[in-house]
Structure 1
Amino acid sequence: MNSLTTAKGGVQRGVYPSGAPQGYGDPYAGYGQAPAAAAGGDRPMTVDDVVAKTGMTLGVIVAFAVLNFGIAVFVSMGLALILTAVGAIGGLITVLVATFGKKYGSAAVTLIYAAFEGLFVGGISLLFTGMTVGGSDGFVLIGQAIIGTVGVFLGMLFVYKTGAVKVTPKFNRIMTGALVGVLVLALGNLLLAMFTGSNPLRDGGMLAIVFSLVCIGLAAFSFLSDFDAADKMIRAGAPAKMAWGVALGLAVTLVWLYTEILRLLSYFRSN
């Protein structure tokens, strides 16, 4: 990430590159005018801020994931399942608050999200590796999912750095449409499972495998938008606290990617 703002010609802070898109719904659109964007005594954001805040966020996720996993193994599976549901719902509500409540860049919102999502990740990891595949080699499956997630992250960072895929307003519109489509399909599948017992997108069959591959692909390309957000905000001299917003976006994408990879691996293992 250290090379993001130097890989494109050394653009001065506070000024977007010539011809770069501005203001396509990004929370940092107002920071492209001048270094005065960091008004109010808040220093400009740096790559170190993004790395540090993201690291703290992921650390909280891992800690709460281990906590819930331990509760399931040593205390009560029922309690762990309740905490998993609380984590899923709480994480969703927290992201909605950050998005629509104009809390982008709030350390409290990002860390609360991390705590909720950690509970969810710990519980869902146990479900996919325990109940789904009979507990065989569960930790190996989790390790493979983590390695896959890190690999995709680094690969997409390389893709962004080299400019192999350009993040443009059109790219973001296509990504938004695809994400909405996946969300509608997932909600429809959930309602179908609740009322009919049929679960075609998550039953481990060929359609479920294809759907998981699509989700993994979308999560991977979502990293490009996250990197572009961090890149432009650093170039524009956005306030340092906005690094918490970048950390939130990266954490959301990482958790989604990890769960989809783990789900896909569980399909193959159970089959």
Structure 2
Amino acid sequence: MLRTGNPALKETTFLDLSSGTVVSRDGEAMTLNGTVHRTAVLLFLAVLTAAFAWNSVAIGPEGPSANFGLYLWGGLIGGLVFAFATIFKPAWSPVTAPLYALFEGLFLGAISALYDARFNGIVLQAVMLTTGTLFALLFAYRSGLIKATENFKLGVVAATGGIALIYLATIALSFFGIRIPYIHESGLIGIGFSLFVVVVAALNLVLDFDFIEQGVERGAPKHMEWYGAFGLMVTLVWLYVEFLRLLAKLRK
């Protein structure tokens, strides 16, 4: 059984709905190299729009410029729309995955500009930590140091679900002016919570690697290269944002 904490990657994604088996309708199958290349394209598109948003907003002593909200919320909402479109219609991923990356880049550029204005150099640190974590986990997975066993998958999925519930509760309670204490602050508990979230996000990379590898072995359709790259991109975005949050707490 395949199990992953990433909502974009689930076992039934690779299945033909009519027969319950993996089918490559166009005669070409998903490859690992193809998925790597698609991931590189998505990262390039996200960096492109992130750089544009970063250079377009201004963060002054009185706060961000008026167009900050446009890039932040426009990128976030647009990214969510194309993310859900990709999840529910994987065959659309060659189009929707790049659009997701473009919109997500706007969000990342805006939020990165805000963090960097408050904590100089924090964005470069977060990028380096995210990149280093990606390659470290990839090496550990490929070398067999970390194996995606069923117990490992179950633990990561359970932890990811718990974090998602905490974040949803935080958003819901914020509408009533209620703030969950400690975990979002810069004290020891808050830093410990962010460290835990970063570790769980990083371990989701292992599950994503395993899921993509299983798709290649099963001969999934060619368009699943874009879908696998999209799923990996979702985890990397989450990991990067969590690194920003952790570093900001440490700076405080």
TM-score normalized by the length of structure 1: 0.79
Cα deviation, 1:16-75, whole Å, max 9, x if unaligned, reads: xxxxx46994122559x9x9832333x12222211111011001110111111111039x
Aligned to 1:245: 227
Runs of 4+ displaced beyond 4 Å: 21-25
Go from structure 1 to structure 2 and tell me whether the alpha carbon gap of 1:163 and 1:105 turns closer, same or farther (over 3 Å shift): farther
CA contact (8 A) 1:69 1:80 kept: no
TM-score normalized by the length of structure 2: 0.84
Aligned to 1:51: 36
Aligned to 2:7: none
Alignment map for 1:42-191 (pairs within 5 Å)? 43-73=28-58, 77-99=65-87, 101-103=88-90, 106-130=93-117, 132-133=118-119, 137=120, 140-191=121-172
- 1:28 paired with 2:10, answer no
Aligned length: 239
CA contact (8 A) 1:68 1:119 kept: yes
Aligned-partner residue type, residue 171 of structure 1: F
Counterpart-to-counterpart distance in 1, 2:214 and 2:180: 41
CA contact (8 A) 2:208 2:231 kept: yes
Aligned to 1:12: none
Moved more, 142-151 or 22-31: 22-31
Counterpart-to-counterpart distance in 2, 1:79 and 1:56: 27
Counterpart-to-counterpart distance in 1, 2:146 and 2:244: 26
Counterpart-to-counterpart distance in 1, 2:178 and 2:209: 40
Go from structure 1 to structure 2 and tell me whether the alpha carbon gap of 1:245 and 1:105 turns closer, same or farther (over 3 Å shift): farther
Cα displacement (A) at 1:228:
0.8
CA contact (8 A) 1:38 1:237 kept: yes
Go from structure 1 to structure 2 and tell me whether the alpha carbon gap of 1:215 and 1:124 turns closer, same or farther (over 3 Å shift): same
SS of the residue aligned with 1:50? helix
Q: Which has the larger radius of gyration?
A: 1
Gap regions ≥5 residues in structure 2:
5-9
CA contact (8 A) 1:190 1:199 kept: no
CA contact (8 A) 1:129 1:266 kept: no
Counterpart-to-counterpart distance in 1, 2:91 and 2:208: 13
> Considering only aligned residues, what root-mean-square deviation do their CA atoms show, in Å?
2.6
Aligned-partner residue type, residue 68 of structure 2: A
- 1:264 paired with 2:246, answer yes
Cα deviation, 1:83-127, whole Å, max 9, x if unaligned, reads: 21121222223222222x232661111011101110110111122
